[in-house]
Amino acid sequence: MVTTQAISVQAVSKIYPGGVHALADVSLEVRQGEWIAIMGPSGSGKTTLLSILNGLDKPTSGQIHVLGTDTHGFGPDDWAVFRRENIGLVFQQFHLIPYLTAVENVMLAQYYHSMPVREQALAALERVQLAGRAHHLPSQLSGGEQQRVCIARALINDPKVVLADEPTGNLDEENEARVLDVFRSLHAEGKTLVVVTHDPEIGCAGERIVALSHGKVSKDTRTAEGERLLSARAVTGEVREHLR
Amino acid sequence: MLSRILLDSLTRRLSRKALSVVAVWIGLTLVLALLSLSVDVGDKMNLELRSFGANITVEPLASAIPVDVGGHRLAAEAVPSYLDEAELLKLKAITFFWRNNILGVAPRIRAAGQAKGQDVDLVGVWFDQPVATGSEPLVTGARQVYTHWAVQGAWPTRAEECLVGSAAARRLALAPGDTLALAVGREQLTLKVTGILTSGDKDDGSIIAPLSAVQGLVHAPGKVSSADVSALTTPDNKLAEKYRQDPKALTPDEYDRWYCTPYPGAVAKQVQELIPGSAARVVRRVSETQGMVFSRTKGLIVLLAALTFVVCSLSVTGILTAAVLERRPEMALLQAIGARRADVLVLFLAEMAILGIAGGVLAALTGPLLGRWLVSLVFGSTAELHLAVVLVAPFLGLGLAWAGGLWPVWQAVNQDAAQVLHGN
């Protein structure tokens, strides 16, 4: 069966030790190729939801399907294998290995996926306009450059889903624009993007904004861009129907 | 990529890496020193325990087998039989497999005589007999074998000198410097008493004279009644016990193993095979005491080595726990980009292996030296450098590092990666 859902979250709750309810009965569907933003105030459960979607955290209850795969019963190693095949992660703090150069940091993801190929890693850096800084250590790169290395690392294995946690949280406007451009091109290629952000500009760049409050989905709205794309898709569908 | 990560990781935070290596080095030095000591303790303690006396007695076969005549058992003394003195020299001959284990030989010839109108037991022995061994000169005899003998006065150095047992000296009112006229049958011999012997056994009631002098009195030149042999042996184990219970119960392989191991029984059997017409038996009191002391001492040293290993692995755990804690974000990241726990574990264990082997190599240099010093301190003699202890050191270093590092790394790879990546 061909599924059009990239991510399906069914009644997911997360209760941390001590009884803190981070997520309460959250349900969410993300279509393949869709770009959604998860927004909300601090402590609303955005990051917890993203950690559950990427398998670094486990829900207390509920079900998660990613790319049609039921992840219920996945252990840490199952998730590791699933992530390296299907998911690219972008972190707010970049998390680059400090003693590896930019290109080596990208190749590290290749190493655990298949085999490191320097040319491919350089091409990934070229895509985020960092080919000239490939042999610099993270300490020699600006925050924006480190974030782009992080994005190149997330993309190197050609994931179908990219999960980003506050990707522009530590960046200036110029770098934020560059990151946004990369996300737009990913979206245009048909990647599924889930971006946790506080930034309305980033949020509005996607198709939908899912707002969380106190661990619950308080609002799920389509952005202007989303409406435009929806109309475009509808028109495309009518034309196809007409041609048939 | 793995080697690149390893190399970079090893060359960063050198002080912490050096601390890990030093911890393994010091710990293993102690472990290896104790292992060296445990290897040497057998030979050294056997040498020390020679004061218990000989552990094998060789007698003529005829003396060892009870003889019944018309329903009457004849005592061995009633049927005098002898071994050839010259045959005893074979024990140190190059053709005898256990020649290096034979530490000393003390042949004896017994005779009943009279002195000062009283019956006396006369024992002929070697006092200090040079024996040609083919490799190095050996002087053996009562003085070397019966190290528990205490002599008040001087040991005899000439053919016409003797020792008198303490009980016999009291009975015969003899003191060092006195002259003693002995009679055996029609033969007469005058000896000068050089010392009074206290042995704690029946020799205290005897006159101890040079072997050749007594051989002359009993007209048995070149003959001996028995010989006490001091041999380096290994304590009996289950295999030796099985042979003692029933030699036929051993399989051919077991028998070969028993025969080629210096158990007291195996050495005695081969001594018996070497000397025609002899029966060699193990002096169980001596060999078992030696074996017990040796086993317990060796066991204690090995236990100490094991405890030292455990304590060192705990200290390594402490050092590596701190190192691993620092690198939790790195481990979490590796898992986030697709490394399984085993992948991360392998990476960190490889790093620890390099540190452990480095510490092991250093300990291979210092451990045996410390062991030699311990041997010289405890036994007052030098010890050999044991190649096996040197070769095993890097592997022990590897084991120590892994034993110390496995737990903190395993804890770290099972951490909540999401929390770590968020800086919690």
Is it the case that residue B20 has pLDDT exceeding 80? Answer: yes
pLDDT in tens, A76-112: 999 999 999 999 999 988 899 988 899 999 999 999 8
Looking at beta carbons, which residues of chain A come within 8 Å of B329?
Answer: 95
Task: Name the 3-class secondary structure at B411.
Answer: helix
With an 8 Å Cβ cutoff, are B340 and A80 in contact? yes
Q: Tell whether B252 is within 8 A of chain A (Cβ).
A: no
User: What is the C-alpha to C-alpha distance for residues B195 and B201, in angstroms, rounded to an integer?
Assistant: 17
More confident residue, B337 or B293: B337
Looking at beta carbons, which residues of chain B come within 8 Å of A77?
Answer: 340-342
**HEC sequence for B34-87:** HHHHHHHHHHHHHHHHHHHCCCEEEEEHHHHCCEEECCEEECHHHCCCCEEHHH
Domain ranges for chain B: 2-47+294-421, 54-282
Is it the case that residue B389 has pLDDT exceeding 90? Answer: no
Q: Give the best residue of A16, A53, A97, A139 to mutate against chain B (max B CB count within 10 A).
A: A97
In terms of DSSP bridges, do strands A192-196 and B206-210 run parallel, antiparallel, or are they unpaired?
unpaired
Beta carbons of B82 and B304 less than 8 angstroms apart: no
Is it the case that residue A1 has pLDDT exceeding 80? Answer: no
Per-residue pLDDT averaged across B370-375, rounded? 83
Looking at beta carbons, which residues of chain B come within 8 Å of A16?
Answer: none
Beta carbons of B196 and B166 less than 8 angstroms apart: yes
Q: Tell whether B7 is within 8 A of chain A (Cβ).
A: no
The residue whose two tokens read 């085993």 is B342
Chain B residue whose CA is closest to A54: B336
Q: Say what the pLDDT of residue A244 is.
A: 67
Is it the case that residue A209 has pLDDT exceeding 90? Answer: yes
Least confidently predicted of B32-41, B81-90, B123-132: B32-41
Is it the case that residue A35 has pLDDT exceeding 70? Answer: yes
Is it the case that residue A243 has pLDDT exceeding 60? Answer: yes
pLDDT in tens, B391-423: 999 999 999 899 888 888 998 888 888 888 887
With an 8 Å Cβ cutoff, are B2 and A83 in contact? no
pLDDT in tens, A143-186: 889 999 999 999 999 999 999 998 888 788 888 888 899 999 99
With bands split at pLDDT 50, 70 and 90, how would you rate the model's confidence at A66? very high
Chain A residue whose CA is closest to B340: A77
With an 8 Å Cβ cutoff, are B1 and A108 in contact? yes
With an 8 Å Cβ cutoff, are B422 and A47 in contact? yes
Bridge partners for A9 per DSSP: A28, A64
For chain B, give the mean pLDDT: 85
Which of A225-229, B14-18, B303-307 shows the highest mean pLDDT?
B303-307
Min Cα separation B401/chain A (Å): 24
Chain A residue whose CA is closest to B342: A77
Beta carbons of B410 and B345 less than 8 angstroms apart: yes
Q: Say what the pLDDT of residue A58 is.
A: 92
Beta carbons of B88 and B66 less than 8 angstroms apart: no
List the structure tokens of B368.
Answer: 């045996």
- CATH of residue A104's domain is 3.40.50.300
Query: How many domains would you assign to chain A?
Result: 1
Is it the case that residue B76 has pLDDT exceeding 70? Answer: no
Looking at beta carbons, which residues of chain A come within 8 Å of B2?
Answer: 111
Beta carbons of B115 and B181 less than 8 angstroms apart: yes
Task: Compute the count of residue pairs across chains A and B with CB atoms less than 8 Å apart.
Answer: 73
Global ipTM: 0.89
Residue A12, domain extent: 5-243
